[in-house]
Chains A and B, each alone.
Chain A
Amino acid sequence: MAVTFLHTADWQMGMKALQAGEKAKEVRAKRFETAARVVELAKREGVAFVLLAGDLFEHYDVDEAVVRKTVALLDSFSPIRVFVLPGNHDPLIAGGIWDRQSWQRVGDHVTLLCESAEFHVREEVVLYPAPLKQKQSTLDPTAWMPARATGDDRIRIGVAHGALDLLPKRTNFPISATRADEAGLDYLALGDWHSFMQQGRTVYSGTMEPTSFSEKDPGNVSIVEISGARSEPVVSRHHLGALRWSEHEALIGDVSDVEELRRVILRLGPLPAQLLRITPQFDPAAPPEALGELRSLRDELQKESFHLDWPFETLDALPETPVILPEGLLADIDEGLGAILEGRIPEGPAREAASEAPEVLQEARALLRRLVAEAHR
């Protein structure tokens, strides 16, 4: 009666990885490597089947090579059965990814869940899939799932793709958080949310490889064990993701802030596996040494990390040495810019700059101070 299966979702094969910039191609390739590790895990754990709860592909227009490689990957699960659910990125539409000839060649152990209808995996295990047939909807795709009939002692597993109505600001394909209970499901395997999340019997496995800087806990798949109908599922999370994406908006007040930033980054894992986006904010009173340290950190990350999104120009905000503005024209300009940034209207020619954007005013003031510092050298 007991069943063990692997729950994964949101592979997003062929994703653009816009945030990865010049490393986008490598990021796309990494997803295939991680997917291969999912296959290894499934075989190692001896699961009965694999549930892929939507968004196997990033888009129904992805390159043919991506489909072929994905099909090869799914074929490597054999003899483990794989159930693939169309998600909002790869919905079941006319001329979509599932109509591709290359997809049609996938092995018989792979089943595309095309209908919102009960599906018998085996006598005592049934699936209730909710395939998506469009990209957007405000309707709950799991609404059709019937309640458990009296005397139905089969293990009932729902498979769906959408946003649990617990999640903030997400309305596309909303899924009721009480669906599992209402439909008498032993497990509701969900996709769409890229981080791991468990709410009772309702579980997001998350994507097996991160896709952006905004994800909190990606890179996992779930091994689920259900001993029988109505029993609690045992969910074990396995981290397989190769890359770590992180975003840092550090406020730099002194050298210790830079050191803290370095520690935080290093705690995330080895630098060659990290994609970093760093936007430091400077305290105007920050000492020049802090800037020096920050430059050193940037050089280190630029050299070591998988990808660094940190323009060097952001380090021009402060001069490296203390600035003494000479009396006269330069001091007048600096004072005028400072007044505008503080919200005052200055006297003299600087009055004309009052309508400038703050970042431009900041830039002009920083440039002035840098040039004065250079002139003093």
Chain B
Amino acid sequence: MIIEEITVENWRGYRDSHTFKFCNGVNLLTGRNEAGKSTLFEALTRVLFDRHNAKTEEIRAIQPIGSTLGPKACVQFEAGGRRYRAVKQFLQEPKSALYSERGGNWERDHEGDDADARLRAILRGEATARMAARPEHRGLAQALWYLQSDGAIPEKAWSDGVKQGLQGLVELAARTPVEAAVVGRVGERYDEYWTPTGRIASNSELGRLQAELPRLEEELTGLLDKAKSVDSHRADLEEIQASEAEKRKAREKAKAEADELSARVQQAEALDRECEERRRVKNAAVEKAQRLEEHLTQVEDKRKKIRKCAAEAKELEESLADATVDARSEEHARDRHARRWKEELEPALKALEAELQGLHALERLRKLEKEGKRLQQHLDKVAEIEEQCEARKKAYAELVAPDDKEWKRFGAASKKLSVLRAQVEASAIRVAFEWTGKARKVKTNPALRASEDHEYLVAEPTEFQIEGVGTVHVRSNASALKDLLTERDKVEQEVRQLLTRFGVSDEDGVAALHERGRDLAKAISTLEQSLEETEEAEPDAKAELERIKRGIQEETRAARTLPPEAREKGGQWIRGQIDEKERVKKRVISEIDDEQKAERAAAENLLKLVEARQATTYKLAARRAEIGTHEANITEILETYGTLERLGNLVAASKEEVRQATESLDRLLTEYEEKVITPKRLYEQAQNRVQELDKQLSDLATKIAATLARIEESAAQGNYSQLADAQIEIEWKRRRVELLKCRAEGAKLLHCLVLAHEKQRSAALSGPIQAIVDRWLRLLTEDSYDALRVDLDLKPTGVHMVRYNRDLPFPSLSHGAQEQVVVLLRLAIAVLVSETEPNLVLIDDRLVNADSVRMKRLCLIIEEAAKSCQIVIATCNDTPYAGLGAHTVRVPGDGTDGEAPS
């Protein structure tokens, strides 16, 4: 298919109708940026592949801003040797029509949806729902049209339209609908089981079962472990029971042994009795020998003690005589000392004390007399102050004088009276009558009294009735004056009352009285203070004086023991006498103490000597008694045996008897050891073994019970049925997994076979394309890259680097190089599919990143491709394409207004 012309109207920037014409070979669609180049390509695709009644956002965006008219376009093209004209209007009054040329005339063949469907059939496009057609819906144009809105290569495979176009070339049978459906279903079935990376899909039944099985197997393992644990208990139990059987056997053996030994012991009972008899004889002999030996020892011991007691008694008797002599000597000394302090020193001390008592009394008498005199003087002074104070108080009581408060009140009233009087004087209306002729009698209502100056002081409306003349009415500020007068009278009365009370006539009198009262009060206060201070100096002076008087009487009586002349002496003499007597007294007391100490020492010595003599006497008596006891004991012991010598003989005989009994017993014991002791010991050992085994058997019985309990506990938990249920679940799920795995593997195998066949087919498809592209690639890159690598879907995966003999992944190429390679690929496809009929190639400004050298080479390649197909290149800069000799189509935005409007 090649395009001849396109007309657009109301299409984005093309509000008016514009027609653009294209020729075979290379067409350069030039114009500035946003001039409308891509808009023309868009109009081309929408007219040829979109439903005319589509109303998606993309279609709505075509309508010029502010316009309500439907976008409209007409494309005239040639395909399959026939010329067609497709007309479509979108949105408002949408319509579609397909015309074909017959005999130079255009005839409308299809309208509406039929026209759309026929167009898609001609161009191998695919139907869409209500949306705008995507690149994959454009059939072969998906590969040949490289628009701004399209990616460099499709995300998925090339559309079937592209493949069909290529299949025709390589003479492979086209894919039938059945094959397409089956291949699609094979992929779907594969996807049911497998992920794109070849793993079992986790959301498939197989995936879920495979994920579930390990958990179930783990649970089963746990249950099997429990079962093994029970088996282990059972093995333990078996061992324990074997051990129990062994021990039971051992016990039976030990019991039999014990029984046999017990019989042997019973058989040796006579020997046992003989042995007992000899043991008794021996014990009796030993007892007798011990008793005799004990008696002999006792006698000898007591004789030793008697000798010892006699020696001690003799020593005690000598000691007793010495003690008696010493006691007498100490008794004499004690009596001598006692006589001296009692008969000589104590009377002398008493006489001295009597004399000293009198001297002390005399000395205290003198002091009391002096103190009594001082107190009497003090009392006299107090009496004098009291008398003066009483006199002042009496005068003050007799005086009638104002106190400070009354004085202040009087002063205030007097002062206020003066003020009121002055105010009355200033405010009052004075009415005076001067008579010419005889004075007339004036009568006032209310009644007023004339002053000394014959003036009436009018304080209120007053009617003056003048005899024989008439009546005069006087009015003034009467109410205020009247109040003043009332106040003045009140104060005057108060002043008068005070003067009357104090018996004076004026204010001076009151002042004099007030001054006198104040003087008397002050004198009384002074005297009372003096009296208080004097009394406080000696508060109990009277009582003290009385006590002193009584002391004087007592001391006077005490001093009567002194001679009369001494009682007349003064204090100094008395003090000298007292000191002298005290010294003598002290010396006498000392001598008394010495004598008393000596007396007590002698008495104590005497007492000790008496006590020692007493003790010695007691000891002596004890020794004598002990000797008697010992002698009695010896007599008692020897009473049985006669003499001590006989007793000694008996002892020797009994020892011999013991020796013989012992020898006899030992001989028998040797035989007894052999026949009785050893069997008895063995019997006890056997019995112990039996007991020990009984204990062990009891322990084993406990262990057996415990192990059985553990086994039973496991059974009670239902482990076996749980295990069965788990095994069943796993078994059935495993079977299901096996079945599904077989199905999955079958689906996978089929999928792989489909892919392998498709790969084979793709290799057949891609071979011729790669041959062209590789040649162009070498030209473009000056042999840097010599081959393009493509996958099964003819999508570029990399380029081969000659220098390194390695493949460079496609994404590693620069953006410009990627675009150039894609352009080469699309051009190669176009060349191949255009062998029988030229096809349109659109390149929307895709080579802007090529440098000038590469651009020249690209131009050579485009020129070669244009020999078999129509190429339209949109560009804003036609300079790089200058050497192409291309037909230039300018868009209106370029200022040339393009081709002439249709």
Residues of A within 8 A of B (CB): 14-18, 20-22, 24-25, 28, 59, 61-67, 93-96, 99-102, 311, 313, 316, 326-330, 332-333, 336-337, 348-350, 352-353, 356-357, 359-364, 366-368, 371-372, 374-376
Give the complex CA separation of A366 and B186 in angstroms: 12
Tell me the complex Cα distance, A79–B343, Å: 138
Which A residues are CB-close (under 8 A) to B728? 16-18, 20-22, 24
Q: Determine the residue in chain B with the shortest Cβ distance to A313.
A: B739
Q: Chain A residues with Cβ under 8 A from B727's Cβ?
A: 16, 18
Contacts of A376 in B (CB 8 A): 178
Min C-beta distance of B740 to chain A, whole Å: 8
Q: What is the size category of the interface that chain B forms with chain A?
A: 35 or more
> What are 5 A-B interface contacts by the 8 Å CB criterion?
A63-B716, A101-B712, A364-B745, A367-B743, A375-B185
Q: Does B57 contact A (CB under 8 A)?
A: no
Q: Which 7 A-B pairs have the closest CB atoms?
A: A363-B746, A349-B756, A16-B724, A95-B234, A375-B181, A364-B749, A364-B746
B536 at the A/B interface (Cβ < 8 Å)?
Answer: no
Considering the complex, which residues of chain B in the window 683-739 have a beta carbon less than 8 Å from any beta carbon of chain A? 707-708, 711-712, 714-716, 718-721, 723-725, 727-728, 731-732, 735-736, 739
Most interface-central of B175, B720, B727 (chain A CB within 10 A): B720
Q: How far is the CA of A311 from the CA of B724 in the complex (A)?
A: 22
Asked if B715 and A333 sit within 8 Å, CB to CB, the answer is no
Cα A352 to Cα B740 with chains together (Å): 22
Our pick among A102, A326, A350, A374 for the contact of B176 (Cβ within 8 Å) is A326
Known: A93-B234, A95-B708. A333 touches B739 (CB 8 A): no
Contact of B718 among A63, A93, A329, A333 (CB under 8 A): A63
Please give the distance in Å from A59's CB to the nearest CB on chain B: 6
Q: Which residues of B contact A20 (CB under 8 A)?
A: 728
Which residues of B, 562-579, contact A by the 8 Å Cβ criterion?
A: none
CA distance A371 to B186 in the complex (A): 8
Separation of A61 and B723 alpha carbons in the complex (Å) = 11
Answer yes or no: B298 CB below 8 A from chain A CBs. Answer: no
Q: How far is the CB of A15 from chain B (nearest CB, A)?
A: 8
Chain B nearest Cβ from A359, distance in angstroms: 5
A59 to B231 CA separation, bound complex (whole angstroms)? 12
Picked from B173, B189, B721, the residue with its CB within 8 Å of the CB of A367 is B189
Q: Give the interface centre of B183, B711, B723, B736 by most chain A CB atoms within 10 Å.
A: B711
Residue pair B173, A328 in contact (C-beta under 8 Å): yes
- In residues 822-878 of chain B, which contact A (Cβ within 8 Å)? none
B459 at the A interface (CB under 8 A): no
B21 to chain A, nearest CB (A): 43
Minimum Cβ distance to chain B for residue A233 (Å): 37
Give Cα A64–Cα B719 distance, bound, in whole angstroms.
10
The answer to whether A364 and B747 touch across the interface, beta carbons within 8 angstroms, is: yes
Chain B at the A interface: mostly helix, strand, loop or mixed?
helix
Contacts of A61 in B (CB 8 A): 227, 230, 714-715, 719-720
Interface locus among B265-273, B758-766, B787-795, B811-819: B758-766
CB-based nearest A residue for B186: A371
In the complex, A311→B733 CA distance in Å? 12
A235 nearest CB across to chain B (Å): 34
How far is A239 from B238 in the complex, measured between Cα atoms in Å?
40
Q: In the complex, are the beta carbons of A95 and B179 less than 8 A apart?
A: no
Contact A99 B181 (CB under 8 A): no
Also in contact, A372 and B749, with CB within 8 A (given A348-B757, A349-B759): no
| In the complex, chain B residues whose CB is within 8 Å of the CB of A363 | 742-743, 745-747, 749
User: Mask for B651-664, Cβ within 8 A of A = 1, else 0?
Assistant: 00000000000000
CA distance A21 to B731 in the complex (A): 8
A348 and B750 form a contact (CB under 8 A) = no
Contact (Cβ within 8 A) A95 B233: yes
CA gap between A357 and B177 in the complex, in Å: 31
Q: Which residues of B contact A22 (CB under 8 A)?
A: 728, 732
User: Which residues from A are CB-within-8-Å of B721?
Assistant: 14, 28, 62-63, 66
Q: Within 8 Å CB of A330, what residues of B?
A: 178-179, 182-183
- With a cutoff of 8 Å between Cβ atoms, the chain B residues found around residue A361 in the complex are 746, 749
Q: Can you name the residue of chain A whose Cβ is closest to the Cβ of B755?
A: A349
Contact A329 B757 (CB under 8 A): yes
CB 8 Å contact bits of B233-254 with A (1 = contact, 0 = none): 1100110110000000000000
Q: Is the CB of A371 within 8 A of B720?
A: no
The minimal Cβ–Cβ distance linking A285 to chain B, given in whole angstroms, is 21
In the complex, chain A residues whose CB is within 8 Å of the CB of B731:
18
CA distance A93 to B237 in the complex (A): 10
The answer to whether B558 has its CB under 8 Å from any CB of chain A is no
Chain A residue numbers with a CB within 8 Å of B714 are 61
Task: Assess whether B753 is in contact with A336, with CB atoms less than 8 Å apart.
Answer: yes
B752 close to chain A: CB less than 8 A = yes
B258 to chain A, nearest CB (A): 30
Given contacts A63-B718, A311-B736, contact A362 B758 (CB under 8 A): no
Given the known interface contacts A349-B756, A349-B757, A359-B742, the answer about A63 and B720 at a Cβ–Cβ threshold of 8 Å is yes
Determine if B743 and A313 form an interchain contact, defined as CB atoms under 8 angstroms apart: yes
Chain B residues, Cβ within 8 Å of A329: 175, 179, 183, 754, 757-758, 761
**CA separation between A357 and B745, bound complex, in Å?**
10
B715 adjacent to A63 (CB under 8 Å): yes
Closest to A368 in B: B750
A247 to chain B, nearest CB (A): 15
Residues of chain A with a CB closer than 8 A to B707's CB: 95
Asked if B178 and A372 make an inter-chain contact with CB atoms under 8 angstroms apart, the answer reads: yes
Question: What does the 1/0 interface line of B370-393 toward A look like (CB < 8 Å)?
Answer: 000000000000000000000000
Residues of B within 8 A of A350 (CB): 753, 756
Assess the B178–A100 pair: CB atoms within 8 A. Answer: no
A residues near B736, Cβ cutoff 8 Å: 311
Q: Which residues of B contact A64 (CB under 8 A)?
A: 712, 715-716, 718
C-alpha gap A375/B186 in the complex (Å) = 11
- Contact between A99 and B708 (Cβ–Cβ < 8 Å)? yes
Residues A367 and B711 in contact in the complex (CB < 8 Å), given A24-B725, A65-B718: no
Contacts of B158-190 to chain A: CB distance below 8 A: 173, 175-179, 181-183, 185-186, 189
- A326 x B711 contact (CB < 8 A): no
Known contacts A101-B712, A329-B183; A94 and B750 CB within 8 A of each other? no
Min CB distance A276 to B, Å, is 15
Assuming the contacts A18-B728, A62-B720, A93-B238, asked whether A362 and B746 have C-beta atoms less than 8 A apart, the reply is yes
Q: Is the CB of A368 within 8 A of B752?
A: no
Q: Is the CB of A375 within 8 A of B716?
A: no
Q: Which residues from A are CB-within-8-Å of B757?
A: 329, 332-333, 348-349
Residue of B nearest to A374 (CB): B185
